[in-house]
Every structure is written in structure tokens, then in C-alpha cells.
Amino acid sequence: MSADPLLSVRNLKKHYPITKGILKKEVGRVKAVDGISFDVAPGETLGLVGESGCGKSTAATSLLRLEEPTDGQILFDGDDIVEHGDADLKAFRRRAQMMFQDPSSSFDPRMSVGESVAEPLAIHGMRDRARRRRIVEDLLERVGLSAAAYDRYPHEFSGGQKQRIALARALVLNPDLVVADEPVSALDVSIQAEIISLMRDLQTEFGLSIVFISHDLGVVREVCDRVAVMYLGEIVEVADTETLFSDPKHPYTKALLSSIPTPDPSRRNEGVELSGDVPSPSNPPSGCRFHTRCPAVIQPEAFDLEQAEWRHVLDLRLRVERGVDASDIREFLVAEGEAPTPEEVPDAAVARELRREFDVPQTLSDPNAETVLSDAISALVEGEHDEARRTLNDSFSSVCERDHPELESTSAGTSAACLRVDTERRIDPPPTS
């Protein structure tokens, strides 16, 4: 990273209040972006990746102040744009542009595309219509269209052409920074390649900094110098693209990388599959936000289980915390033909079914853990729900639920937010290698 970043985001937060009733009482908050920090150097492309709903797009709109950030600093060329008044903000807008995901809705159907591209010029005070036209016609040719496209309307273009025009619109003010929100996700693969190479050419020509938001790791690897991985509104890992792809440190990054399809049949089925659902950003998990799905979640010192086994036990525990009704399992077993009525289903069968449901082995490899688990399950089967929960919580709680990891530098010289990186303890070898 060079000494003077063009853009420097510090602890950026964007929360959406959930309100209720006529008085709009705040009953909760959707923490779409919850304290992210990163730098973008001049001429650099930073990728922002993550699953749908992890806050990538909100991060983009907040860092351009298209939505007011809830908290944090956005330093652009050393000035905090969060503090900017209207005039300064307008000056900033000229230097930072955005490209949108959906090429069909990002152009006003009532304006010719030339007018749309020229609009920023007019907004920033270029009143000479003929000059605007000359500039835009020249620019349209440079993004691979004809000057005659100026007078045509958006519906007359294909998605790829529209994205070229969108690129022209993003460039027309000669900005220093372009935030591209999934610029190629809506396009065919062959068109994606064209747009990407066009973006790269223009970037080298004009020394642009780009924040490239995508869920497509293949594209990110192609385009970006550095990559920041987001999960549930937080950045979990930042690394050079090469390092990230060859030596990911965060378990979430590993899982994302293993989701890229490989053409090599001998390397299939090695992927890390994430269990569970993406938690809601209105009520994010405590500690490390990834602990509910993390395949490498840390075990308590007392046990020595297989990592996968431990994961399944934890899944079971988290499910019990939300409430498991043994009578439902009995009903299910009756439907399966195990017994004629729910009352007659043997307790052992219920316990077996419960373990099977969560892929927990019938006997755990660690005898201490097995004792605790079977106690808890028998309590659950007898309907002692609270006791089962207490037993499980007492023994099977992970440090990952309690401590929130901060971004720390790793052995590879990158940053990751994982307690395993913090302490470098008990790291399982990455399953993909």
C-alpha cells in the first residue's frame, strides 16, 4: 500500500432503523454495514466481495454519501467527506463516480444516451451544449460505440452496450475514483470479458482508482489488485489478490474460494460447504459473526473432537437454543413407520433421529464430549428443554461466540478477522490444498 491512499474508509457504519407504530419508535436496527475500514491507493483496484446481502452495495452508496453513513470517516484525498457541506460535496461528486449493476434501469428512458452521458457535465456547469456533445461523442467512440449513438435511446442498446455507456458516464467528469457496483453481473460471460478489459484499459490510461464490488470471485481475481471480503456488514479479510487466492486465512474466504467451480474432476468434493443460513443483519450473532456457520470454529480446551464433528455438535446446540420440540420428532418417526403412536416411540429412536438430523455421529470420538451430549439429548427427549440447553451451553461453548475478532495482520502479510489468526492456535490445514 502506498503512503497516501486516495480513499481511506475508517469504521464506516450504515444502520437502518426498524420502526414501529405511528410515533416511529425505533425497535431495532439493520446493521447493513457495521464498521468497515479500508484504503484505496491511487490507480489501485480494490475488490469488495461477499454473499448477497452482506452489505457490499450499502458500503458503496454510503462511501459515496449517496446514503448518509451512520458513523465513521471517509477520507478522500485527506478530507473527510462526511463533514462536507453541499458545495464541497458537489466538488467531491465530480471526482468520485459510480457504475451501477442493472444496465437497463440506470439510464433515463426519456433521455437519449448522449444526453444521459452529458448530464454530469451540465450539472457541473458546462452550459455550452455543442461542447458537451463534442466531448460525449468522442468519449462514446473511445468506449467502443459510434458517435451516432448520442441520439439513440437506451432501449435501442444491448446490455453490454449500455454498460459501455455507463462506463462513459462514469468517466465523463474525469474522476479519480470509480465505484463499480457489480458492473458485469448482469452480462453474458463473453461480454463480461469485453467490459472488464475496457475498464482495465481506461484505468491504465487515466490512472483511476476503482472499488470493484462483486460476488463473482472469478471476475474479482481478473480485475482487482487487492480484495476485501465482507461477511454480514464486516470485513473479514483483506489481502492482495494473489495471496488471497493462494493462501486464504479466514475460514469464510476459504469457503467462498472453494465455491468457485473447478474444471479438474479429481479435485471435486474438496470444497468447504457452509452449513446453516446467513443470519439476519438486524440481529447478528455475538462474538465472531461467522461462528454460526464457520467450519473452523474453535473447540473448548476440554475436548478433542474432529473439526467436522464439532461443527455438527455446535449446529445441534445452536438449534436447541432456538428451541427443539421432542414431540415433533416423535410425530415424524410415527410418519416414518417407527411406531403406531407418538407415545410408543422409544426414547433411543428419538435420540438417534436427533443426531442423524444434525449429522452428529451416534458416538462422538471424544468420550468426555459424548457423555455431555448424551446427557443433554436424554434431557431433551424427556422434555427437560431448559436443562438440555444449560448442559450444552456449559460445555460446548466456543470462544468464537464470546470474543469479537478484529482485523489483524497474518503470517502471509495480509489482514484477517479471525480468532484463529489472532492466536494462531489449532489451525486445521486448509481443506482445499
Partner 1 sequence: MMAADTPSGSTTAAGSTDRFEDVDWDDLGGLGLPLRTGLLVAVSAIYALVVTTDVFLTEGSVLSGTDWLFVLTLLVGAFFVAWPLAENRRLTAYYWRRFKKNRAAVVSAIYLLVVFTVGTVGPWLIAKPELNVIAAYQPPVFVSVDSSVPSACAGAVADGMCHGTWKYPLGTTSEGKGIAKLVVFGMRVSMQVGLITMLIVISIGTVVGTSAAYFGDLVDEVLMRYVDIQQTFPTFFLFLIVTYLFKPSLFLLITIFGFLGWGGIARLVRSEALQRREEEYIRAAENAGASDGWIIRKHLMPNVSNTVITAATLLIPSFILFEATFAFLGLTDPATPSWGQVIASGRGDLDSAWWIATIPGVFLFCTVLAFNFVGDALRDALDPRSEGDA
Which one, 125 or 261, has the nearer CB to partner 1?
125
Interacting residues with partner 1 between 23 and 62 (CB under 8 A): 42-43, 61
Q: From the CB of 202, what's the least distance to partner 1, in Å?
A: 10
Instruction: By CB under 8 A, name the one of 26, 151, 304, 382 that touches partner 1.
Output: 151
Answer yes or no whether residue 268 interacts with partner 1 by CB under 8 A: no
Question: Is there binding between residue 127 and partner 1 (CB under 8 A)?
Answer: yes
Q: Cell numbers of 159, please?
A: 446490455
Contacts of 128 (CB under 8 A, 6+ apart): none
Place of cell 461542447: 131
Calculate Rg over the CA atoms of the chain: 26
Q: Binding string to partner 1 for residues 351 to 370, with x set by CB under 8 A, is what?
A: --------------------
Helix (H) or strand (E) holding 166, with range, is helix 159-171
Could you say which DSSP state residue 340 is in?
Answer: S
> Would you state the cell numbers that stand for residue 312, as one nine-digit string?
455438527
Asked if residue 193 binds partner 1 (CB under 8 A), the reply is no
| Ramachandran category for residue 75: left, alpha or beta (phi over 0 → left; psi -120 to 50 → alpha) | beta
Q: Which residue number, 195 or 380, has a Cβ lying nearer to partner 1?
A: 195
Closest CA to 59 of 35, 84, 33: 33
The answer to whether 267 contacts partner 1 (rule: CB under 8 A) is no
Hey, what's the cell of 76? 478522500
CB of 186 to partner 1, least distance (A): 11
| 83 vs 325 by CB, closer to partner 1 | 83
- Side chain identity, residue 351: A
CB-nearer residue toward partner 1: 133 or 221: 133
Work out how close the CB of 97 gets to partner 1 at its nearest, in angstroms, rounded to a whole number: 7
Beta carbon of residue 322, minimum distance to partner 1 (angstroms, whole number): 34
Provide, rounded to whole angstroms, the least separation between the CB of residue 380 and partner 1.
47
**229 Cβ neighbours under 8 A, 6+ residues apart:** 49, 50, 235, 236, 237, 238, 244, 250, 252, 253, 256
CB of 24 to partner 1, least distance (A): 10
Spatial strand order of the sheet with 7-20 comes to 25-40, 7-20, 71-76, 79-80
Residue 283: name the closest of 292, 274, 275 by CA.
292
DSSP string for 298-324: PPPTT----HHHHHHHHHHHHHHHH--
Would you list the DSSP string of 121-150?
Answer: HHHTT---HHHHHHHHHHHHHHTT--GGGG
Binder of partner 1 out of 23, 68, 155, 386 (CB under 8 A): 155
- The reply to whether 138 sits near partner 1 by the rule CB under 8 A is yes
Q: What are the grid coordinates assigned to 178, written together?
A: 470509480
Q: In this chain, which stretch among 150-158, 244-252, 258-266, 366-374 interacts with partner 1, using CB under 8 A?
A: 150-158
- What is the residue type of 305? L
User: Pattern 75-114, binding to partner 1, x per CB under 8 A?
Assistant: --------------xxx-xxx-xx-xxx--xxxxxxx---
Contact predicate 101/182, CB 8 Å: yes
**First CA to last CA across the chain, in angstroms?**
28
Nearer to partner 1, 176 or 353 (CB): 176
CB 141, min distance to partner 1, A: 9
Q: Which is nearest to 420 in space by CA: 399, 396, 393, 402?
A: 399
**Residues in 201-230 at the binding interface with partner 1, rule: CB under 8 A:** 205-208
The whole-angstrom separation of Cα 43 and Cα 209 is: 4
Which member of 13, 71, 73, 126 binds partner 1 (CB under 8 A)? 126
135 vs 324, which CB is nearer to partner 1? 135
Stretch that binds partner 1, among 116-124, 214-222, 328-336, 374-382 (CB under 8 A): 116-124
Q: How many residues bind partner 1 (CB under 8 A)?
A: 53
Binding pattern for the stretch 156-175 against partner 1, x by CB under 8 A and - elsewhere: -------------x-xxxxx
* Contact residues for partner 1, defined by CB under 8 A: 42-43, 61, 64, 66, 89-91, 93-95, 97-98, 100-102, 105-111, 116, 119-121, 123-129, 131, 134-135, 138-139, 151, 153, 155, 169, 171-176, 205-208
